[in-house]
Amino acid sequence: MNFEFSDEQIAMKDEVRKLLDKENSLKRNRTILEGEEKFDKDLWNSLVSMGLTAVTIPEEFGGIGMGYLELCVIAEELGRAIAPVPYSSSVYLATTAILNCASDEIKKEFLPKLASGEIIGTFAHAESSGFPLEKSINCNFASGKISGTKAAVPDADIADFAIVSAKSSSGVGLYLVDLKDPNIEITSLDTFDPSRSHANIDIKDASAKELISDGWLEIEKILDQSAVLFSFEQIGGAEAAMNMAKDYAQGRYAFGRSIASFQAIKHKIADMYISLQLARSNCYFGAWALSNEASELPTAAATARVSATKAFYECSKENIQTHGGMGATWEFDCHLFYRRSRLLASNIGSQGVWKEKLISSIEKSNLQI
């Protein structure tokens, strides 16, 4: 058996990490956090020129036709570097939605441009507070037009188009709208993690291309697929926060000794490690299920998501604690990870939602335990 990434995938991971290190992604995160720009265009362009937006897109649509395992290793590195780019919206969500559900005509129109980075996409699903259920979607599609609102849509003020969930007489489906459409009003938000932009969108009779009209199961599948990728971002961030805490503790002296020699600190960091290892192992199983389109995906994705969310929260908050007062200053980078950890825990649904998804999926699947 082989439950590891291949040498090629690991080499790709190293390349992405080198690029993000060279580009000084942490500093870029802070620049976006503090500035007016909504994302880091230079960093985005570097990722695009490395081919990272083309990974899962087949060659016939201008992509490089690799698989989701490659996307998992990229996600982990972007998470480690808390990169201020719209990658998750455009690649995990919008690209996957088109790949899964769109007609060849739509694929031909959008995938090559997504691959080349010429356009950025996003996924607009939640409408108000609380996780959207099939019966709670109010956005409405009729006669080629959509009306309704979507709340806190990631990158909506950056992206060129959005895949929007909306109901019609056939059920809840997915539709593609052009975000430059004058019938769509986009309001940027002040957010918990300003290194990643979010906006409310208000759609009034905007033209929409139909991907799928009766698509609730497809929506759930896209969320499961992206949950694995979000989880990899989360363990990347968690590991970076754990290492920050460890490195700081080793160099910080108090009571005449390195604080890393105190069990109160060592055990805290050992607990970060434990939670990270459990999450990492669950992520690997999620990666396997994702790349093999396995029937275990709903359970595997929820398991990865719940444990990765927990790990990133623990590592990012205890990283601040390990740093003492300085950890809670604007100047130190600890809060960048703390903010990102909370943001990722909210994107695509919070912990309670994924715990519920996990237990429901186990109930449905007669899983061999």
Partner 1 sequence: MDFNDTPEEAKFRKEASDWLKQNFEKFESEKLSSEKSAKSSAEPSKTAQDESKALELAKKWQTIKYDAGWACLHWPKDYGGRDATPIERVIWAQEESKFSIPGGFFEIGQGMAGPVMMMYATEEQKKEHLPPMAKGEKIWCQLFSEPGAGSDLAGIKTKAELDGDTWTINGQKVWTSGAHYSDWGILVTRSDFDAPKHKGLTYFFLDMKSPGIEIRPIKQINGGANFNEVYFTDVKIPDSQRLGDVGDGWRVALTTLMNERLAVGDASGVDFKEIFELAKENDFYGEPAVKNSAVREKLADWYCEYSGLKNTKMRRISALSKGDTPGPEASITKIVSANKLQDIANFGMDILDQAGINSEGNLKYHGSLLGAPLIRIAGGTDEILRNIIAEQVLGMPQDVRLDKNVPFNEIPTGEKSN
Residue 57 is a binding residue for partner 1 (CB under 8 A) = no
Vertex 119 angle, CA 117 and 125, to 5°: 120
Residue 264 is a binding residue for partner 1 (CB under 8 A) = no
Stretch that binds partner 1, among 24-32, 43-51, 127-135, 358-366 (CB under 8 A): 358-366
Among 177, 260, 297, 343, binds partner 1 (CB under 8 A): 260
Contacts of 218 (CB under 8 A, 6+ apart): 97, 100, 101, 174, 212
Contacts of 332 (CB under 8 A, 6+ apart): 323, 326
Residue 287 is a binding residue for partner 1 (CB under 8 A) = yes
Instruction: Write phi, then psi, for 292 (nearest 5 degrees).
Output: -100, 10
Contacts of 331 (CB under 8 A, 6+ apart): none
Residue 2 is a binding residue for partner 1 (CB under 8 A) = yes
* Distance separating alpha carbons of residues 75 and 81, to the nearest angstrom: 10
- Which parts of 97-116 interact with partner 1 (CB under 8 A)? none
Smaller CB distance to partner 1: residue 37 or 356? 356
Residue 312 is a binding residue for partner 1 (CB under 8 A) = no
CB of 225 to partner 1, least distance (A): 16
Smaller CB distance to partner 1: residue 4 or 331? 4
Contacts of 157 (CB under 8 A, 6+ apart): 38, 186, 188, 197, 198, 199
Smaller CB distance to partner 1: residue 204 or 355? 355
Among 266, 332, 346, 350, binds partner 1 (CB under 8 A): 266
Contacts of 126 (CB under 8 A, 6+ apart): 132, 150, 151, 152, 153
Residue 284 is a binding residue for partner 1 (CB under 8 A) = yes
Residue 350 is a binding residue for partner 1 (CB under 8 A) = no
* Distance separating alpha carbons of residues 258 and 269, to the nearest angstrom: 14
CB of 334 to partner 1, least distance (A): 18
Tokens at residue 132, please?
């959207």
CB of 69 to partner 1, least distance (A): 6
* Distance separating alpha carbons of residues 258 and 127, to the nearest angstrom: 50
Residue 278 is a binding residue for partner 1 (CB under 8 A) = yes
Stretch that binds partner 1, among 21-29, 93-101, 233-241, 356-364 (CB under 8 A): 356-364
CB of 145 to partner 1, least distance (A): 39
Among 149, 262, 346, 350, binds partner 1 (CB under 8 A): 262
- Strand ranges for 251-298 from DSSP E: 253-254, 257-258
The answer to whether the CB of 278 falls within 8 A of the CB of 307 is: yes
Smaller CB distance to partner 1: residue 199 or 276? 276
Tokens at residue 96, please?
């996957």
* Distance separating alpha carbons of residues 300 and 147, to the nearest angstrom: 35
Binding site for partner 1 (CB under 8 A): 1-5, 69, 246, 249-250, 257-258, 260-263, 265-267, 269-271, 273-274, 277-279, 281-282, 284-285, 287-288, 291-292, 302-303, 306-307, 310, 352, 354-356, 358-359, 362-363, 369
